[in-house]
A = this chain, B = another copy of it.
Amino acid sequence: MSTHNKAEPTDRARPATIRDVAAAAGVATSTVSRALSNPGRVNHLTRARVVEAAEALDYVPSSQARGLSSGRTHAVALLVPDITNPFYFDIIRGTQHQLKAAGYTQLLVDTEESAEMELDALRSMQRAADGVILAASRLTDEQLNAAAAIQPLVTFNRASAEAPTVVIDTPSATIQAMEHLASLGHRTVCYVSGPQNSWSDSMRWKAFQEDSQQRGLQTHRIGPYAPKTTSGAAAADAALRTGSTACIVFNDLLAIGMLQRFAARGVQVPKDISIVGCDDIFGADFCHPPLTTIASPTEQAGRVAVTMLLSQLNPALAAGTRRVAVMPTHLRVRESTGSVPQV
């Protein structure tokens, strides 16, 4: 109104900028900026005028420009090894929720179980995101630490020296499962392992091994298998060949695949063999038989990861933030486990 615009005021194709708002409200752009993102620095009457003008013009600040000048993108990247793995659904939802609540945008990236893609994504997120949540990383410790040195990072299900991390308490879960199986009379147990470079898998195997030794159980290990239902057939056959009466399986996906194979071969679960999965994914309760599995609050884990990351970004919130969050687990007994078969 009082200032000099150069272009015609009503060019209704291009979204309104801060300048348009400033002109409409009769103030400087700096005032608009402050009114909108730093209230208190501006007289509340002026602020009201600005807000009104912004609304009238349907003004949406450009996150790009904001990011450029402020140095922060208000975006957080979530890297998962496989978007279609139901295990990550709850994580995705958990992070999404918490992120949105904090005014952040989520950048979802599927790294396809590949360390290389992970590195790539990390690289490009260096500028595109304020921080990264790295789920089930396939990276080496070295790579991980290097990444953590460059940008704010939180790992999930992957402990690292440098980065804060949230882990599902797999070892104690495995022990719970062993306890359960032992109490059912099983003496020969098989561990069906997942991806080779999975940290979770190695943790789980370690716990399995130690615990079975303590209990004096005979053990087998088969794998590695890709964590998909389609790998279940091979795993089922191999498990049978070991002569084990029970299996602890890397995750539910694989376990469900095994269940399907057993059904096809006429092997009865749990009469002939008991199966324990891990993750309690969608479907574990309605597969056949319903799967005994290790459950944990995954969605909450996602939220915690975000909280840890955000506190890294904003030191003001950083008070008493842990570097490691351990999510509790518990065994959810359904119908895929039963007494040891009578020989």
Chain B hits for A282, CB < 8 A: 84, 86, 282-283
Given contacts A84-B89, A84-B90, A260-B286, contact A108 B126 (CB under 8 A): no
Q: Write out, one digit per residue, whether chain A residues 70-84 have a CB within 8 A of any chain B CB (1) or not (0).
A: 000100000000011
A317: CB under 8 A from chain B?
A: no
| Contact pick for A123, options B60, B64, B86, CB 8 Å | B60
| Complex CA–CA separation, A68 to B64 (angstroms) | 6
Q: Are B110 and A93 in contact (CB under 8 A)?
A: yes
Q: Are A84 and B73 in contact (CB under 8 A)?
A: no
Q: Are A286 and B64 in contact (CB under 8 A)?
A: no
| Interface size class, chain A | 35 or more
A256: CB under 8 A from chain B?
A: yes
Q: Are A96 and B83 in contact (CB under 8 A)?
A: yes
Q: Are A127 and B60 in contact (CB under 8 A)?
A: yes
Task: Give the distance to chain B from A2, nearest Cβ to Cβ, in Å.
Answer: 27
| Complex CA–CA separation, A68 to B174 (angstroms) | 51
A107: CB under 8 A from chain B?
A: yes
- By beta carbon, the residue of chain B nearest A82 is B93
Q: Which residues 87-113 of A sit at the B interface, judged by CB distance below 8 A?
A: 89-90, 92-93, 96-97, 105-110
Task: Give the distance to chain B from A26, nearest Cβ to Cβ, in Å.
Answer: 24
A39: CB under 8 A from chain B?
A: no
Interface residues of A, Cβ cutoff 8 Å to B: 15, 60-65, 67-68, 73, 83-84, 86, 89-90, 92-93, 96-97, 105-110, 123-124, 126-128, 229, 256, 259-260, 282-283, 285-288
With A96-B108, A283-B286 given, name 6 new contacts (CB 8 A).
A15-B127, A60-B127, A62-B127, A65-B68, A86-B282, A283-B287
13 contacts between A and B (CB under 8 A): A15-B126, A60-B126, A61-B127, A63-B128, A84-B93, A86-B282, A93-B110, A105-B107, A107-B107, A108-B108, A256-B286, A283-B283, A283-B287
